Amino acid sequence: MRSYTQFYIDGRWTSPVTPKTAEVINPATEEVSGEISLGSPADVDLAVAAARRAFATYGESSVKDRLDLLESIQAEYVRREAELGEAIMVEMGAPKGLANGFHTLLGKGHLGTAIEVLKEFKFEEQRGVTLIRKEPIGVCGLITPWNWPMNQTCVKIFPALAAGCTMILKPPQLAPYSAQILAEILDKAGVPAGVFNMIQGQGSVIGAALTRHEDVDMISFTGSEPVGVQIQKDAADTVKRVGLELGGKSAWIVLDDASLAANVAGATAGMMGNSGQTCSAGSRLLVPASRLDDVKRAAAEAANGVTVGDPQSDVAMGPVVSKSQYNIIQQYIEKGLEEGAELIAGGLGRPEGLDKGWYVKPTVFVGTNDMVIAREEIFGPVLVIIPYDDIDDAVRIANDSNFGLGGYVSGEDLDTCRAVSRRMRTGAIWVNGGFDFHAPFGGYKRSGNGREWGEFGFHEYLEVKSVIGWN
């Protein structure tokens, strides 16, 4: 049993102003794995005041000082990486290979990238008679989700630290353990008092208090579209900057060539990774209508080949994060059946032999782009195959969405893949795979605004000042 009942405020572990705790449930067993404290607006006031005091000095710190700090954090992160992986496996059910692999690697990668960018970043440049300075925006409220705990937390904290900002982190209530360990890492690494603060609790309480607080200069939020909309409304009264990375219903376009079956299989298996709980997942698989029979065989075989089970064993997919999330996914599967979508793999209920834990069958439908299961973000291992007539039709279907976060193109003709990628209205597109920590990540349309990752992530935490007549 884990017990994390203190918050990290002003360089110290402190008890909540008003003691209140909540249980944390292991989604693989449905049993209590620990407890956390739930904060209040009074705790937020203390943390914001500490961050405001610290900004007076940290905002003026040198690049060298910030590099030294990030490198100290890097050493401590590596030392405790296995603990982070174990925490992620328990808190949100990621299989051990994924929790100890890509989950923790993402956090480490964003840290290393922040160091690389900071070494070369130009905070001042002269253009004619004007000096252009990029200065830290100030006190930042960072609100993070549960689906990729280290990725979504580290992609905010480390660029903010590199830019010279101070911050208050509100981790996800469903997956709080890894954030607690990360706070211990930052403390051990010597982050100055007040620069980093962390309060656990409910988003509707802590997140709202941060968003409305007059001494918070910026909110960076990753999560659902409805919450992002509310954050924008709450932040309007204080005219603070708001960065939003919201939902997605990303299209994966597979071209008609000899690699079609392999690409369909890869896209299907990829959709099931992290139990489908990825905002940029390719949840709409667009395939040539003339090859639909080949597509269905490849997709069904791939989905049926995904091993599901205890995260501590060697499986590809664990449970989804909670009973509530499980029920929502089941409702969407039922809706797909009601809409007349063709079910070719998976379906309602738990996989055979799994009677406990929030496990979902890897599910694949063949449907149309006007169905609810193709319009709304399900956030589970549910793929919708949509046939297209030609490339123009594929691009039209891909862009016919309220979202625009991720996109994928797979095919042997690279020139065609590139041409298709240029026409897709979405923030990040993967052409035949690939990965880059320096590539900006963020959405078009209702998928949010602003960009994270690499150098572009730094700009989120900086103000631009013109000093005219400098020369």
The two beta strands, 363-366 and 406-410, are unpaired
* Catalytic option among 91, 245, 377, 452: 245
Non-local CB neighbours of 407 within 8 Å, separated by 6+ positions? 250, 251, 252, 253, 282, 398, 421, 424, 426, 428, 429, 430
CA-nearest of 254, 287, 247, 251 to 398 is 251
CA distances from 436 to 128, 248, 439, 449 (A): 35, 20, 5, 20
Neighbours of 292 (CB within 10 A): 13
Q: List all residues 6 or more positions away from 89 whose beta carbon is below 8 Å from its beta carbon.
A: 95, 96, 99, 100, 311, 312, 318
Record the tokens describing residue 304, joined without a space. 């049926």
What does the angle CA 183 – CA 223 – CA 323 come to, to the nearest 5 degrees?
A: 90
Task: For residue 245, indicate whether it is catalytic.
Answer: yes
Closest CA to 371 of 293, 275, 283: 283
> Half-sphere exposure of residue 387, counting CA atoms within 13 Å on the CB side?
14
* Strand 218-222 with 241-245, pairing: parallel
Alpha carbons 420 and 410: distance in angstroms, whole number: 10
What gap in Å lies between CA 84 and CA 181, rounded to an integer? 7
d(CA 116, CA 406) in angstroms, rounded, equals: 25
The neighbour count for residue 431, using CB atoms within 10 Å, is 15
- Could you please report the per-residue DSSP string of 78-95? HHTHHHHHHHHHHHH---
Burial level of 125, CB count in 10 A (0-12/13-18/19+)?
exposed
75's tokens: 């050493």
The structure tokens listed for 173 are 């209530």
DSSP code at position 350:
P
Residues noted as catalytic: 245
